[in-house]
A and B are shown apart, each in its own frame.
Chain A
């Protein structure tokens, strides 16, 4: 069963801007799915349409088999949304924000209270339950929105940049939580600009750029397609110019560091042999950029080139 199925979806805003130019997207039930793309690509617009906040111009959206046009109420019940921007009542207390949302999903008061407690504890917000939400820190506000989105146990949880502006510790605990929730069967769609986050959490991925899907596949085979890895080498002694090593692309970054492009089939052993032959001593090595980031830049770059 597909958790989400989007066909030929377009969106033209009132000012005439075409934010989505006919996208197709499929997310399997139980998946942990990354929806990536640069600023203004159309991620939030897509999510807005899925969650009934934005009217689509044309195309169809089906959520767990419920067509959004024909069966909107049932489709809505399946979704929990963590929007990109703070949208709760700033004058309401944390507890009430979550409880009210439960009420909107038809959950009676007694159960709503229990669920609220559970979600707030899970988000480490129970001690803040009676705080007026505008007094919370940015990261706490984001967690309030996650608690709110989960209170009715949605089958599909959509998170639009949930970890933006959240400290490392909380971010890690959010990752654990998302993985846990996903393990228990909830399908998750995540957008983020931290690509290492997407790489480590998500199994499938779509990249959207300028309102079009430029990539839609599983993470492993996407990363497999990267046939060249880039490393930065730190050197013990300063060098004058980059050495020449056949089969590798080497550039000097500074006196004591080099950037090396390593084709997959070459591997690293031969590189070090050659560097040793050049009398260059390497102290340490690191990935130049995260692998997904590299793939991402390539895809965005090539689709920009097609456009111009």
Chain B
């Protein structure tokens, strides 16, 4: 069995899917983030002083980019895998000799590619508003990929358990978006009262956003090593859990 062919088949299929429906997958983040930069960055930001020694608009760029990566990596895998399940077209994979880990890797990579595409578009837009010279390219790239991987995995698990199209909207609306906003996209946690600073530290997204901000503009609220450790642990745990779900056939076999 040639696993790399099967892997690339899944990835190409996934990329073809979201590029085919680009007005739903690529265009909306371009529009919303332009608005973020325009309203929060330019109009309001000009009246807010610098944070951590950088202008407000520069400060929010990393968070806005990463927030779009998080939501799109997640959305890609959850909607693709759920509709594959819903149309029963997951059966094409189940009857074929593709090992579970290749299925998982394929779908997650699809999510990562969507994250890269959307993140890229948002980055290009941000350059029209902000003046970013990347501080640590390697760190930025690794945080970017790890974050996209983590949320693709989370989207996969959501899809496995989802029983209706409603079920795939719950986590993004009630968990991901609030945690992203509260993860310090638009502010530094240092600006919060002490108790809220402590509470913010249990939010994993805070670490990723700050690590990415460190990579791009060299400013962070948290320890970068801790951020990598937390992200890495999440990826390992979610991967193992996904493989367990596939092995048991939860949600996909009767």
* Shortest distance between the CB of A249 and any CB in chain B (Å): 47
Contacts of A91 in B (CB 8 A): 17, 20
Contacts of B93 in A (CB 8 A): 104
Contact in complex: B87, A87 (CB < 8 Å): yes
Q: B84, A89: Cβ atoms under 8 Å?
A: yes
As a 0/1 sequence over residues 160 to 199 of chain A, the CB contacts with chain B under 8 angstroms (1 = contact) are: 0000000000000000000000000000000000000000
- Chain B residues lying within 8 Å of A81, measured Cβ to Cβ, are 95
Assess the B1–A106 pair: CB atoms within 8 A. Answer: yes
Q: Contact between A106 and B8 (Cβ–Cβ < 8 Å)? A: no
- CB of B24 within 8 A of chain A? no
Distance to closest chain A CB from B252 (angstroms):
9
**Does B96 lie within 8 Å of A101, measured CB to CB?**
yes
Q: By the criterion CB–CB under 8 Å, are B95 and A52 in contact?
A: yes
CA distance A53 to B249 in the complex (A): 9
Give residues of chain A (218-234) contacting chain B, Cβ–Cβ below 8 Å: none
Asked whether A58 is an interface residue with its Cβ less than 8 Å from the other chain, the reply is no
CA–CA, A104 to B94, complex, Å?
10
Which residues of chain B have C-beta atoms less than 8 A from A76's C-beta?
95-97
Is A88 touching B92 in the complex (CB atoms < 8 A)? yes
Given contacts A87-B89, A89-B84, whether A73 and B95 have CB atoms under 8 Å apart is no
A272 at the interface (CB under 8 A from B): no
Which listed residue, B8, B89, B97, touches A73 by the CB 8 Å rule?
B97
Interface SS of chain A = loop
Q: Is the CB of A74 within 8 A of B97?
A: yes
- Are the C-beta atoms of B87 and A104 separated by less than 8 Å? no
Judging by beta carbons under 8 Å apart, are B254 and A77 in contact? no
Name the interface residues of B227-254: CB closer than 8 Å to any CB of A: 249, 253-254
Q: Hey, what's the 0/1 contact readout for B8-22 against A, CB within 8 Å counting as 1?
A: 111001001100100
Question: Is the CB of B91 closer than 8 A to any CB of chain A?
Answer: yes
Q: Tell me if A259 counts as interface (CB < 8 A to partner B).
A: no
A100 at the interface (CB under 8 A from B): yes
Is A79's CB within 8 Å of the partner chain B?
yes
Asked if residues A77 and B5 are in contact (CB atoms below 8 Å), the reply is no
Chain A residue contacts of B9, Cβ below 8 A: 100, 103-104
A residues within 8 A CB of B97?
72-74, 76-77, 104-106
B1/A53 in contact, CB under 8 A = no
Q: How many A-B pairs fall under 8 Å by CB?
A: 81
B94 touches A100 (CB 8 A): no
CA distance A48 to B13 in the complex (A): 25
Evaluate contact between B84 and A53: CB separation under 8 angstroms: no
Q: Is B88 an interface residue (CB 8 A)?
A: yes
User: Would you give the shortest CB distance from A257 to chain B, in whole angstroms?
Assistant: 47
Q: Which residues, 75 to 111 on B, are CB-close (under 8 Å) to A?
A: 84, 87-89, 91-99
The answer on a CB contact under 8 Å between A104 and B96 is yes
Q: A54 vs B94: C-alpha distance in the bound complex, in angstroms? A: 10
Q: Give every chain B residue within 8 A of A100 (Cβ-Cβ).
A: 9, 13, 92
Contact A106 B91, beta carbon cutoff 8 Å? no
Min CB gap A54→B, angstroms: 5
Q: Does A90 belong to the interface (CB within 8 Å)?
A: yes
Question: Which residues of A67-115 have CB atoms within 8 Å of chain B's CB atoms?
Answer: 72-74, 76-77, 79, 81, 83, 85, 87-92, 96, 100-101, 103-109
Chain A residues near B249 (CB-CB < 8 A): 55
Residues of B within 8 A of A148 (CB): 92
Is A51 close to B, CB under 8 A? Answer: yes
Residues of B within 8 A of A88 (CB): 87, 89, 92
The residue in B5, B6, B249 that gathers the most chain A C-beta atoms within 10 A of its C-beta is B5
Interface residues of B in 7-55 (CB under 8 A from A): 8-10, 13, 16-17, 20
Q: Smallest Cβ distance from A62 to chain B, in angstroms?
A: 16
B88 lies within 8 A of A106 (CB): no
B-side contacts of A54, CB under 8 Å: 253-254
Known interface pairs A13-B254, A76-B97; A106-B92 also in contact (CB < 8 Å) = no
**Is A14 in the interface zone, CB < 8 Å from B?**
yes
Which of B17, B91, B95, B254 counts the most A-chain CB atoms under 10 A from its CB? B95
Residue of B nearest to A80 (CB): B95
- Known A-B contacts A14-B254, A55-B249; the reply to A83 vs B91 at CB < 8 A is yes
Docked CA distance A100–B91 (Å): 13
Judge whether A90 and B87 touch: CB under 8 Å: yes
Q: Which residue of A lies closest to B17 (CB)?
A: A91
Would you call A104 and B89 a contact (CB within 8 A)?
Answer: no
A103 near B8: Cβ-Cβ < 8 Å: yes
B253 x A104 contact (CB < 8 A): no
Give me 11 A-to-B residue pairs in the complex whose CB atoms sit less than 8 angstroms apart, sorted by A's number.
A14-B254, A53-B94, A85-B88, A87-B87, A103-B8, A103-B9, A104-B92, A104-B97, A107-B2, A107-B5, A109-B5
- Partner-A contacts on B (CB < 8 A): 1-3, 5-6, 8-10, 13, 16-17, 20, 84, 87-89, 91-99, 249, 253-254
New A-B pairs, 11, CB < 8 Å, besides A87-B92, A88-B87, A103-B6: A55-B253, A73-B99, A76-B95, A89-B89, A103-B10, A104-B9, A104-B92, A105-B6, A105-B96, A106-B2, A148-B92
Give the 6 A-B CB pairs with smallest separation, nearest first: A103-B9, A106-B2, A104-B96, A87-B88, A76-B97, A73-B97
